[in-house]
Structure formats: C-alpha cells, structure tokens
Homo-oligomer: A and B are copies of this chain.
Amino acid sequence: MSTHYKGTEEEIRALDVFIKLNRACDSLGVRLAASATLEDLTVSQFGVLEALYHLGPLCPGELGQKLLKTSGNMTLVVDNLEKRGLIERIRSAKDRRQIKIHLTETGAEMIGRIFPTHLRAIVEEMSVLTAEEQQDLSRLCKKLGKGKP
C-alpha cells in the first residue's frame, strides 16, 4: 500500500488506485518523453498534430474537446505550431467565427514520420502487460474515465 493514511478500507483502496493511476500516467509520460520519439515537439503539440493527421482539419474548439483542454490553451499551442509552419489557420467561409486548423505539407510529413516511431515506444512500454491485461486495463480506465452516469 503506497499511502500512510489511516482510514476505512474503502478509503484506503480508493486512494491507492488514485495514486497508482496517476503515477502510472506520470511515469509513463516521463519515460516516453525521455525516449525522445517526439523529437522537438511538446506532448500538446504532438497531440494536436496527431488529431489533425488522423481526423482531418479541426477547429480549436474541437481540438480542445479531444484533448480535454481549454480554448485559450489551444490558441497558444496552435500559435506555436503555426510559427513553425506545421499548421495553418483557415477561417471558415460559412461561419466566420470558426477557424479550421489544417496541417501544412511540412506538418503532415513530420507527424507521418514521428507517429510510427512514437507508437513503437508505446507498444514497448505496454509490453510489460499481457494482451489480456491490456484489455482489462483499457476497460477499467474507460469505465473510470466516463464517470458516474
């Protein structure tokens, strides 16, 4: 048990899951970052490029929903990608409030090259679990992520 807290069994159990879950996410993130498969992209920048790569052009708002981030955050991450010429903003003609984010050729080339390498690092990390364990973990995380009805 990784907590020193003295509470009911239910509390100790819940706290233990919570800590292990967060720690797994964090340490996995640290190890993947150290694997340098993202080259000089941040995790957020990679997330945006990957979403555009697999789903096509999206608005900042849609990106924020996908990545669970605020619109203000998306503005900055998109700004930084735009400065590097990896994406471009194209204002929608129908609804002039909307802006579609498109991958540039450079951006598409880059994410197309980096994604498979990064995926291999993820597969490698997951290989400490059997296929069945991975399916169990996925199911439990999905249930927990969804929350109460």
Contacts and interface: CB of A to CB of B under 8 A. Distances in A.
Contacts of A143: 128-129, 133
Contacts of A21: 21, 24-25, 28, 137-138, 141
Contacts of A54: 3-5
Interface in A129-144: 129, 131, 133-138, 140-144
Contacts of A138: 13, 16-17, 20-21
A15 B147 contact: no
Interface of A: 3-5, 7, 10-11, 13-18, 20-28, 30-31, 54-55, 68, 115, 119, 122-129, 131, 133-138, 140-148
